[in-house]
Amino acid sequence: MKKTFLLMVAGILALGGGVARPATDANIYESPIRPASAKPLDKIVLAKLKSLGIEPVLCSDAVFVRRVYLDVIGTLPTAKEAGDFIRDPDAENKRQALIDRLLERDEFADYWAMKWGDILRIKAEFPVNLWPNAAQAYHRWVRASIAENKPYDKFVREMLTSSGSNFRVGPVNFYRALQNKTPEGTAAAVALTFMGSRAENWPKDRLAGMTVFFSQIGYKPTREWKEEHVFWDPFKADGVNDKNATGAAAPLLAVFPDGTKIDLPPNRDPREVFADWLIERKNPWFARCIANRVWAWLLGRGIVHEPDDIRADNPPSNPELLSYLEKELIASRYDLKHLYRLILNSDAYQYSSVPKPDAKEAEANFGSYAMRRLDAEVLIDAINKISGTTDLYTSPIPEPFTYIPADKPAISIADGSITSPFLTLFGRSARATGMENERDNKPVAAQWLHLLNSSHIQRKIDQGPGLKAIFESGRKPEAIVEDLYLTILSRPPTADEMECVLAYCRFPKPKEPGAGNKTGPTNKPGAGNKPGATNKSAVAAKPVNIPPIRRREAWVDITWALINSTEFLYRH
Amino acid sequence: MSENQNSENAKGFSRREALRRGVHGTMGLMLADRLVGDSPAIAAAEPEKTSATVKAKSVIQVFLWGGMSHIDTWDPKPEAGREYMGDLAKAIPTNADGIQLGELFPQLAKQADKFSLIRGMTHRNNGHETAAYLMQTGHAPGERLAYPSVGAVFSLFKSPRYKGLIPPYVVLTRAQGRFSEEGFLGPKYKPFATGGDPNAFRFEVEGIVARGIPDNRQKERRELLGKLNTMGNLMAASPQLATAEEAKNAAYELILGSGKEVFDLSKEKAELRDRYGRHNFGQDCLAARRLVEIGVPYVVINYPGGWDTHSNHFATMRRQCPQLDQGLAALLSDLHDRGLLESTLVWCCGEFGRGPKVDWQPPWNGGRNHYGNVFSVLVAGGGFKGGHVVGSSDAKAEEVKERPVYPVDLLGSIYRLAGIDANARLPHPLGIEARVLPSAAENVKSAGLLTEIM
């Protein structure tokens, strides 16, 4: 029964789904079905690709299931989840159905709260110093907002306008999670976070005009240690634009980033005035910024790239596409899941990552899916899931909140100060600036030393109960290999891989059912490779007498190799 | 315990003010050279200056995380009484004229001609992270940029000429981890933390020396990975994957090459290992010597054990100081015996000192609190003269009495001796202007480089 996976893949290889293609390795990663979607999004993307002479290819089911799990819930599919999906014959609907299921999983909220945690700088200690209690409150609010699919405009407005205790009102921590809490620093952070625009590239007076909206934010301590109230403090009018202003009565002249001037009414919190301008549907930054971010998060590259560097001289690679996404988002009343669904169900999201000759052009125009190393948290969670082990996450500042249950995945950690050496080494965001590029997935030698040869990873492979159960399941070696492949790479092995693995374990080669027909192990009746069967001619030429210790080592080595493979380490 | 007390010192001078007033004579001028002669647009990461001017080829930094008390150790005040000195009231003479140390440092006392003590170190910051950041970057904490620590800066500037296999910035044995040591330079400049225990039978250096995997199995594995890497082989042409492959090959040079022998302390004579002390810190020091011997530019020993002695202070001092004394003294004399001290700069301190007045009251019951107003730093070799004391604290070790030394002065001196231009631009990923040490415009306090001992 497990073998049917292999046969299916092999079948696709052989038949090529009607499209005659040579049986190369690419075929396990690509679908024979030609992209022919009539969705507006795909039409826009395809038009651009056509003009460049790029012909995209769709990814295979095995690639899709792994990709969509990692992209939507930051979690590796189990062997069963991957196998069930690949085996599901309903080719028409199964991808859409899986997308719908994943969007409702708990891990969806965990994973996206983690992403937002980078942007919103959820970190108890240096350098933003939210303090543990407040970091938890902030994260709780963000996660709950994602779980309930709070409309994005509401989500942002709550952050910009809330008042109250940092321990009790989560969103007030937006203003506290800044290294530079001056009105100017605050305005720059708002621009970066919600307009996707870097104020350091702005003309000076634009930032000055926006600064006024954030010049009356008060912070005051309470009697509880490190508790702080964030509130509108009209008496804080520090005369940003009028040095002689006395008290709150003086009207403040503020300028929106689009150049519109406004006399701030004395009876209204200027933060609200700004928020209302920002989330208005005609605002040229707001929907654009988030539509572009979501696209970049899923596809690995913004239509405006980098996604937090929107400016006139950094134009979108496909303006029509970006404006289509903006319109869809606004029409859905800022329903982010609608945007996710729209993108995930498109052919454009489901293109193959196998590079074509014009790889660079294709990637910049979304003609292929961008390979990306797994995020630090996702990577360690995947390794832990495979091996059935856990990691310890702590904060250097011992607080009750820093001790988290052993089985809690890294993607669900609230506070950037709670960490492990692995997360730091693999480039988890420092959550200092809120820039997208603070998360650093570039490979360096020290990461390889860790993956290839550290006691941390070796112990998991050697002793992890999840793997032990597979190694010692007493099944035939072919079944173990299949299980390892589905567990680690979310797909069954190819015939070549099966052969290579069995040779490494010095198990007899699976009997070849017919000359030149590479279908790998087979359950053809009478083929005679049942355990204990006497197949003297083909396989039992040499008696296999390998000590069990060596055999176990071989399984460990194979698992190690799969975990260190490009296919495991990357989203593809 | 991470409150930041950034109170300003009325007695401190701003850097600019120091220049204007010329308060420190020639020192002020030298600083002026560096700061006012603001050569524009220095190419980022230009290699170190000509080696003739480079006195410190390598640096060993012993970091005493938590903040070691100065009054019990390198700035004793026997006259201050029990209220201040507690149980450690005795000062002992050294082999350098006029220098006394706390009673727990008899071995260092025999090596005092090889090191100098800065007793006027000050930054007035009492938060662990912020003070550690100040001491390791010279930049004020809380700016938008997270600056790299001195080790990462060495890694950046020394890498072009350093061809060794061992990474240029090594930490024995655990990374500090309380702030981003590589800052905005990115993970390539992160220190390589060895893990393991150099005092164990086999120093298992994390990622390099693995338990139970002999070289032949390593090679078999590598070959297997090559065969099973189906997608990697299919996409080998991708530039992104090529970079990853290069990094992997560099890792394999360490795993399978001879470079890892530097961590094999069994190659040292047993008597020498005994001299360093058969404890984690002692063998850290020995491993550090072996690393600088093969040219590693920057080695940090994060003291294995904390110095954050709010309570149980005196017992901790009695336990840890003898090991610090033994390891550090053996390191200095061994470096000297091998002719390495001239080219190896050693510095040792925590992020701050500790309150000179003992907290006898509950719940501390004889502890000491964080204290950044004045504390001590030990410097040796690499162009620093031995046998001197720079600056002093007052009678109760509470404030600087003479010659304050600020973080930029200490780090600036280290950079100067290592041939690194403290005014050089650092490569910020977004092209934001950032320099090794703060520029004059940033108004950071300074009282001049440590020219007295350079």
The residue whose two tokens read 């440092």 is B105
Looking at residue B160, what is its pLDDT?
Answer: 86
Co-location of B250 and B226 in the same domain: yes
Top pLDDT among A112 and B142 is at A112
Co-location of B348 and B239 in the same domain: no
pLDDT greater than 80 at residue A371: yes
Co-location of B183 and B81 in the same domain: yes
pLDDT band of residue A511 (cuts 50, 70, 90) is low
User: In this complex, which of B130, B230, B251 lies closest to A448 when CB atoms are compared?
Assistant: B251
Rounded to whole angstroms, the Cα distance separating A173 from A165 reads 9
User: In this complex, which of A25, A355, A449 lies closest to B251 when CB atoms are compared?
Assistant: A449
Co-location of B85 and B197 in the same domain: yes
Co-location of B90 and B137 in the same domain: yes
Mean pLDDT of A248-268: 87
Q: Six-digit token pair at A225?
A: 């240690």
Top pLDDT among B335 and A517 is at B335
pLDDT band of residue B439 (cuts 50, 70, 90) is confident
Q: Which residues of B touch A558 (CB under 8 A)?
A: 224, 228
Q: Do A127 and B179 touch (CB under 8 A)?
A: yes
Mean pLDDT of B354-382: 95
Q: How far is A521 from chain B (nearest CA, A)?
A: 17
Contact A214, A190 (CB under 8 A): yes
pLDDT greater than 60 at residue B41: no
Looking at residue A180, what is its pLDDT?
Answer: 87
SS3 state of residue B91: strand
Looking at residue A509, what is its pLDDT?
Answer: 66
Q: Do A561 and B221 touch (CB under 8 A)?
A: yes
User: Phi, psi at residue B416, to the nearest 5°?
Assistant: -60, -50
Residue in chain B closest to A428 (alpha carbons) equals B187
SS3 state of residue B114: coil
Q: Do B144 and A397 touch (CB under 8 A)?
A: no
Q: Do B210 and A28 touch (CB under 8 A)?
A: no
Predicted TM-score (pTM) of the model is: 0.79
Residue type present at position A454: S
| Interface mutation target, options B159, B231, B253, chain A, most CBs of A under 10 Å | B231
Contact A352, A29 (CB under 8 A): yes
Q: Do A561 and B228 touch (CB under 8 A)?
A: yes
Looking at residue A504, what is its pLDDT?
Answer: 94
Q: Is A390 exposed, middle or buried (0-12, 13-18, 19+ CB in 10 A)?
A: middle
Co-location of B160 and B187 in the same domain: yes
Residue type present at position A352: S
Q: How far is A561 from chain B (nearest CA, A)?
A: 5
User: In this complex, which of B141, B178, B207 lies closest to A453 when CB atoms are compared?
Assistant: B207
DSSP string, A144-207: HHHHTT--HHHHHHHHHH--EETTT-GGGHHHHS-S--SHHHHHHHHHHHHH---GGGS-HHHH
Residue B367 burial (CB count, 10 A):
22
Q: Which residues of B touch A371 (CB under 8 A)?
A: 235, 238, 240-241
Co-location of B91 and B190 in the same domain: yes
pLDDT band of residue A394 (cuts 50, 70, 90) is confident
Contact B417, B383 (CB under 8 A): yes
Of A285, A275, A286, A297, which is closest to residue A116 (Cα–Cα)? A297
Query: Which residue range(s) make up the domain with B122?
Result: 52-209+269-453
Co-location of B362 and B254 in the same domain: no
Give CA torsion, residues A181, A182, A183, A187, to 10 deg: -50
Q: Six-digit token pair at A332?
A: 């859905």
pLDDT greater than 90 at residue A486: yes
Helix H or strand E encompassing B28: helix B26-36
pLDDT greater than 90 at residue B352: yes
Q: What is the pLDDT of residues A435-456, one digit of tens each?
A: 998 898 888 888 999 999 999 9
pLDDT greater than 80 at residue B185: yes
Per the prediction, chain B carries an average pLDDT of 87
Looking at residue B384, what is its pLDDT?
Answer: 98
pLDDT band of residue B259 (cuts 50, 70, 90) is confident
Q: How far is B141 from chain A (nearest CA, A)?
A: 8
Per the prediction, chain A carries an average pLDDT of 87
Residue type present at position A489: L
Per-residue three-class SS string for A30-58? ECCCCCCCCCHHHHHHHHHHHHHCCCCCE
User: Phi, psi at residue B390, to the nearest 5°?
Assistant: -105, 120
Q: Do B228 and A500 touch (CB under 8 A)?
A: yes
Q: Do A421 and B177 touch (CB under 8 A)?
A: yes
pLDDT greater than 90 at residue B329: yes
Rounded to whole angstroms, the Cα distance separating A518 from A437 reads 45
Predicted ipTM?
0.87
Q: Which residues of A touch B144 (CB under 8 A)?
A: 179-180, 185, 433
Co-location of B312 and B396 in the same domain: yes
Q: Six-digit token pair at B314?
A: 């005196």
Contacting A residues, span 288-327, partner chain B, CB-CB under 8 Å:
none
Looking at residue A334, what is its pLDDT?
Answer: 98
Rounded to whole angstroms, the Cα distance separating B373 from B54 reads 32
Q: Do B224 and A447 touch (CB under 8 A)?
A: no
Q: Do A421 and B229 touch (CB under 8 A)?
A: no
Rounded to whole angstroms, the Cα distance separating B261 from B254 reads 10
Mean pLDDT of A166-177: 97
Contact B369, B359 (CB under 8 A): yes
User: In this complex, which of A127, A444, A557 lies closest to B188 when CB atoms are compared?
Assistant: A444
Looking at residue B14, what is its pLDDT?
Answer: 45
Mean pLDDT of B338-345: 97
- A447 touching B (Cβ < 8 Å): yes
Counted domains in chain B: 2
Mean pLDDT of A232-247: 60
Rounded to whole angstroms, the Cα distance separating A86 from A72 reads 18
Co-location of B325 and B201 in the same domain: yes
> Is residue B238 domain-resident?
yes
> Is residue B44 domain-resident?
no
Rounded to whole angstroms, the Cα distance separating A291 from A211 reads 25
> Is residue B42 domain-resident?
no
Q: What is the CA radius of gyration of chain B?
A: 23
Mean pLDDT of A169-175: 98
Mean pLDDT of B51-74: 92
Top pLDDT among A516 and B248 is at B248
Contacting A residues, span 494-553, partner chain B, CB-CB under 8 Å:
494, 497, 500-501, 504, 553
Q: Do B228 and A179 touch (CB under 8 A)?
A: no
Among A243-247, A450-454, B128-132, B271-275, the least confident range: A243-247
Looking at residue A523, what is its pLDDT?
Answer: 39
SS3 state of residue B282: helix
Looking at residue B31, what is its pLDDT?
Answer: 31
Q: Do B1 and A397 touch (CB under 8 A)?
A: yes
- B210 touching A (Cβ < 8 Å): yes
> Is residue B47 domain-resident?
no
pLDDT band of residue B241 (cuts 50, 70, 90) is very high
Domain boundary among B198, B232, B262: B262
Rounded to whole angstroms, the Cα distance separating B386 from B112 reads 7
| Interface mutation target, options B4, B139, B144, chain A, most CBs of A under 10 Å | B144
User: In this complex, which of A419, A445, A553 lies closest to B250 when CB atoms are compared?
Assistant: A445
Of A497, A27, A355, A59, which is closest to residue B235 (Cα–Cα)? A355
Max mean pLDDT range (A154-163, A223-232, A240-249): A154-163
Co-location of B14 and B107 in the same domain: no
User: In this complex, which of B188, B207, B221 lies closest to A454 when CB atoms are compared?
Assistant: B207
Q: Which residues of B touch A450 (CB under 8 A)?
A: 206-207
Looking at residue A168, what is its pLDDT?
Answer: 96
Mean pLDDT of B438-446: 85
- A443 touching B (Cβ < 8 Å): yes
What CATH number did the domain enclosing B62 receive?
3.40.720.10
Top pLDDT among A293 and B43 is at A293
Q: What is the pLDDT of residues B296-328, one digit of tens each?
A: 999 999 999 899 999 999 999 999 999 999 999
> Is residue B174 domain-resident?
yes
- A398 touching B (Cβ < 8 Å): no
Looking at residue A544, what is its pLDDT?
Answer: 58
| Interface mutation target, options B225, B246, B263, chain A, most CBs of A under 10 Å | B225
Mean pLDDT of A122-150: 93
User: In this complex, which of A437, A454, A497 lies closest to B206 when CB atoms are compared?
Assistant: A454
Number of CB pairs < 8 Å for A and B?
A: 178
> Is residue B16 domain-resident?
yes
Q: Do B247 and A355 touch (CB under 8 A)?
A: no
Q: Which residues of A touch B434 (CB under 8 A)?
A: none
- A124 touching B (Cβ < 8 Å): no
Residues in Cβ contact with A372 at an 8 Å cutoff, skipping those fewer than 6 apart: A300, A441, A570, A571
Residues in Cβ contact with A216 at an 8 Å cutoff, skipping those fewer than 6 apart: A232, A233, A234, A236, A237, A269, A270, A271
> Is residue B368 domain-resident?
yes
Co-location of B196 and B255 in the same domain: no
- B225 touching A (Cβ < 8 Å): yes
pLDDT greater than 50 at residue A3: no
The residue whose two tokens read 């003291």 is B303
Top pLDDT among B163 and B149 is at B149
Buried/exposed code over A360-371 (b: 16+ C-beta within 10 A; e: otherwise): eebbbbbbbbbb
The residue whose two tokens read 């928020």 is A275
> Is residue B334 domain-resident?
yes
pLDDT greater than 80 at residue B37: no
Q: How far is A400 from chain B (nearest CA, A)?
A: 14
Q: What is the pLDDT of residues B404-431, one digit of tens each?
A: 999 999 999 999 999 999 999 999 876 7
